[in-house]
Amino acid sequence: SQQGEEDPQALSIQEGENATMNCSYKTSINNLQWYRQNSGRGLVHLILIRSNEREKHSGRLRVTLDTSKKSSSLLITASRAADTASYFCATDNAGNMLTFGGGTRLMVKP
């Protein structure tokens, strides 16, 4: 079973709009990571947020973490067509394994 679950499963927006994706998980975590996957490619790391952090920024990306609700969100501001991809959250819950969610497929229309 997957530790993280993304919501929505698919999202379609216009270029310039903001995109928000959510991730919920079940057990306590050490950290949570977000990855991007372009069609037919490997995953690329975007951002890592630790369990004692509440918010983190990287360029147009903003990630929040609410450990009381066991949830995280990824906000992409001023989206571009090049942001079209699948986005995955991944959690590390104190073992030696990283568990991925099912992903959100984002389409940004020019």
Partner 1 sequence: NAGVTQTPKFQVLKTGQSMTLQCAQDMNHEYMSWYRQDPGMGLRLIHYSVGAGITDQGEVPNGYNVSRSTTEDFPLRLLSAAPSQTSVYFCASSRTGGPRDEQFFGPGTRLTVL
List residues near partner 1 by CB under 8 A: 2, 4, 30-31, 33, 35, 40-45, 48, 88, 90, 92, 95-103
Nearest approach in angstroms of CB 73 to partner 1 is: 17
Nearer to partner 1, 15 or 102 (CB): 102
Nearer to partner 1, 38 or 78 (CB): 38
Nearer to partner 1, 15 or 22 (CB): 22
Cβ atoms of residues 23 and 72 within 8 Å: yes
Measure the CA–CA gap between 30 and 40, rounded to whole angstroms: 30
Laid out side by side, the sheet with 19-25 consists of 4-7, 19-25, 71-76, 61-66, 55-58
Nearest approach in angstroms of CB 82 to partner 1 is: 19
R_g (Cα) of the chain, nearest Å: 13
Cis amide leading into 8 (omega within 30): yes
Nearest approach in angstroms of CB 29 to partner 1 is: 10
Nearest approach in angstroms of CB 69 to partner 1 is: 21
